Amino acid sequence: MLLVLLFLLPAVVFACLYCSRQVRNAIAATLDQPGLFIILLPFIILSVLVGVLAWLSLKKQHDGYRSACAAVVLGIGLGGFVDGIVFHQILQVHEMLSAKVAADNYVGKSVNMFWDGIFHAFCLLIVLTGIVLSWKLAGASYAYKRKRILGGGLLLGWGVFNLLEGIMDHHLLGLHNVVQRAGTSLPDYLFLSFSVLLVMAGYVFVTNANTKPATQGRNR
In a domain, 216, yes or no: no
In a domain, 38, yes or no: yes
Burial of 73 (0-12, 13-18, 19+ CB in 10 A): buried
CA distance 77 to 162: 11
- Confidence at residue 6, expressed as pLDDT on a 0 to 100 scale: 62
CA dihedral 15, 19, 22, 27 (to 10 degrees): -20
CA distance 136 to 144: 12
Task: Give the closest residue to 69 by CA, choosing from 5, 130, 123.
Answer: 130
pTM above 0.75, yes or no: yes
Q: Which domain holds residue 57?
A: 2-211
Helices 106-136 and 21-32 meet at what angle, rounded to 10? 60
In a domain, 217, yes or no: no
11-35 pLDDT, tens per residue? 666 778 788 889 988 998 888 767 8
| Confidence band, pLDDT 50/70/90 cuts, at residue 3 | low
In a domain, 31, yes or no: yes
Q: For the chain, how big is the Rg over CA atoms in Å?
A: 19
* CA 93 vs CA 84, 109, 154: distances in Å: 11, 12, 25
Task: Give the closest residue to 75 by CA, choosing from 96, 46, 41.
Answer: 46
CA distance 88 to 44: 21
In a domain, 104, yes or no: yes
CA distance 213 to 215: 6
Residues in the chain: 220
Q: Among the listed ranges 39-53, 89-103, 142-156, 196-210, which one has the minimum average pLDDT value?
A: 142-156
Phi, psi of 175 (to 5 degrees): -80, -35
In a domain, 196, yes or no: yes
87-126 pLDDT, tens per residue? 999 999 999 999 999 999 999 999 999 999 999 999 999 9
In a domain, 219, yes or no: no
Query: How many separate domains does the chain show?
Result: 1
In a domain, 76, yes or no: yes
